[in-house]
Amino acid sequence: MPSSLASRRSASRLLASTAIPSRRDFLAKLGVGSTAAILGALPIASFAQAAPAPKKGWLTSTDTASEIIWMSATKLAQLIREKKISATEAVQAYIARIEKVNPKINAVVQMCFERALAEAKAADEALAKGIIKGPLHGVPFTIKDSLDTEGVISTGGTVGREFFIPEKDATVVARVRAAGAILLGKTNTPEFTLAGGGIPGISTTANIIYGISKNPYDLKRSTAGSSGGAGAIVAAGGAAFDIGSDYGGSIRMPAHNNGTTGLKPTFGRVARTGHIVDYGGIFDSWQEIGPLARRVEDLNLITGIICGPDDLDAAMVPMPWLDPADVDVGKLRVAYYAANGVADITPETIATVKKAADLFAANGNPVKEDFPKDIIMELEEIRSKISPVSTPGLLKLAEKWGTKAISPTITNRASRPLPSTPELTELLEKQDANRSRLLGWMKGYDIVINPVMPKPAQLLNAGEQPPSKPGSSYVGVHNTSGYPVAVVRAGTSPEGLPIGVQIIGQPWMEDKVLAAAAFLETKTGGWSKPAI
């Protein structure tokens, strides 16, 4: 670590009055108004659109864990409301866990423990008066460092923001805090979240400010990225949940590598306002924001809170959040494919996907092995050819924040040839046509099961790897499609590493995706404690 976390917290306090103006400050000057004022009304609107019907009250947990740091956020919130655990006890337990494991895995890169303890005390005092702030009252969480946090350094992994302190929370941060959650700190991410692992030859979340993050199941292994710090600390019991971003698998791959569960919602579901790479532009539809947790029930609770328009991210749609409990799992039409014929995939990964399909078949579901290879391969090839266009935007971000020492993975990208304007136009037209073809295929199924990654977590010191072949990625195509995808651990490698599966659904059908994920979690056990 370049400097101690304690000194960085001191820097946070000293620099709070000199923070660089944010994009939202600029919008405010144009007459949009205070982001704080805008966000102030959002949680109520979000709950009205997103939460289960009032007659069902608070969500009830089915988690059997009894120790604070291992139980689901849903169960912890329930026990805090019932005054069986105090918010202060919960925050203290998670702080102790972070202090124990973080020196080994380097997942939490900024901490705001004093503020968290003060907020926990206030939460307990409010509860004593019968006041419940929201469905996450008193629940401690961490947040990916690519999302702005008021009063806490938010680097986005780039040196130009090494001491940048936002004056406002990102929309999703504001919403979970308004729902009562308590922020413990920020989790590691590569530069701008779009720098691969962050450092060539090191196959894990890393940047030149905070260094590399390590897998809690094996410290020699990768967390994946870009929400690698988030996946690692949640898996290790250092936070009840985290919220990451997913542009090409950045929630799903860390969920797979670290054995957690995670959700990439439908494009248009969760606002990107306050993310280092926010909304708008040619790649707008590729990026979603969603939670990572230890239990599937938390994906339902948290996404129901953070979803809905914020009147800033123009792509957001006010779609109702449907309750997975209302889904008849036995009626879901299931497709699966374990191998795409291109990627080198381990036998255990194939077996895990087939086991998941077999569990649905044994449940009486109609299950079919089906792989729309031509559609998927074409979509992946289109994505690969369009991707270099993102480089000028990243370089512009670096210029905006005054970053001169740019991650080598980004500078390497800059050497890739860009498509010409006619070529780009043709690629975008093909992308839209392909999406239509995929929608037509998807009409025959409620969910599709396939691998997240061809292999479990790989060694950190992997060295330079050759570019992936078209179709070797199972994740990026569903950023391009915009479909909702959940990940749940369903198997274990011979090395004892987690193996996750993807559960893909039709647009806006997160209820079916999460119902299927919960079914698999029940049958396979889902997340399990790491040895750390």
pLDDT-based confidence at 408, cuts 50/70/90?
A: confident
Q: What is the 3-state secondary structure (H, E, C) of 138-156?
A: CCEEEEECCECECCECCCC
Question: Whole-prediction pTM value?
Answer: 0.89
Region 478-501: mean pLDDT is 97
Question: What's the CA gap between 475 and 483, in Å, rounded?
Answer: 11
pLDDT at 473 (0 to 100): 79
Condensed to tens digits (0 to 9), the pLDDT of residues 59-68 reads: 999 999 999 9
Alpha helix positions (H), 387-495: 390-401, 408-413, 421-442, 477-481
Roughly how many angstroms between the first and final C-alpha of the chain, as a whole number?
20
Region 69-91: mean pLDDT is 98
Question: What's the CA gap between 451 and 1, in Å, rounded?
Answer: 34
Q: Tell me if 142 sits within 8 A of 242, measured CB to CB.
A: yes
**AA identity, residue 356:** A
Question: What's the CA gap between 402 and 161, in Å, rounded?
Answer: 8
Q: Which of 280, 209, 198, 193 is nearest to 243 (CA)?
A: 193
Condensed to tens digits (0 to 9), the pLDDT of residues 436-473 reads: 999 999 999 999 999 999 999 999 987 776 666 666 67
Question: What's the CA gap between 184 and 113, in Å, rounded?
Answer: 6
**AA identity, residue 66:** S
pLDDT at 415 (0 to 100): 79
CB neighbour list of residue 375: distance below 8 Å, 6 or more residues apart: 434, 437, 438, 441
Q: Please provide the average confidence, as pLDDT, over all residues in the chain.
A: 89
Question: What's the CA gap between 216 and 233, in Å, rounded?
Answer: 8
Beta-carbon-side half-sphere exposure of residue 245 (alpha carbons within 13 Å): 33
CB neighbour list of residue 520: distance below 8 Å, 6 or more residues apart: 356, 359, 488, 490, 501, 503, 526
pLDDT-based confidence at 19, cuts 50/70/90?
A: very low
Reduced to 3 states (helix: H, G, I; strand: E, B; else coil), residue 403 is coil
Condensed to tens digits (0 to 9), the pLDDT of residues 243-275 reads: 999 999 999 999 999 999 999 999 999 999 999
Q: Which of 287, 292, 276, 339 is nearest to 316 (CA)?
A: 287
Which residues does residue 449 pair with via DSSP β-bridges, in sequence order?
A: 336, 503
Under CATH, domain 5-54+66-321+334-462+470-524 is a member of which superfamily? Amidase signature (AS) domain (3.90.1300.10)
pLDDT at 1 (0 to 100): 44
pLDDT at 471 (0 to 100): 64
pLDDT at 51 over 50: no
Q: Tell me if 229 sits within 8 A of 107, measured CB to CB.
A: yes
Residue with tokens 């004593």, as numbered in its chain? 128
pLDDT at 2 over 50: no
Residues with catalytic roles: 144, 226, 250
Q: Which of 342, 385, 389, 355 is nearest to 491 (CA)?
A: 355
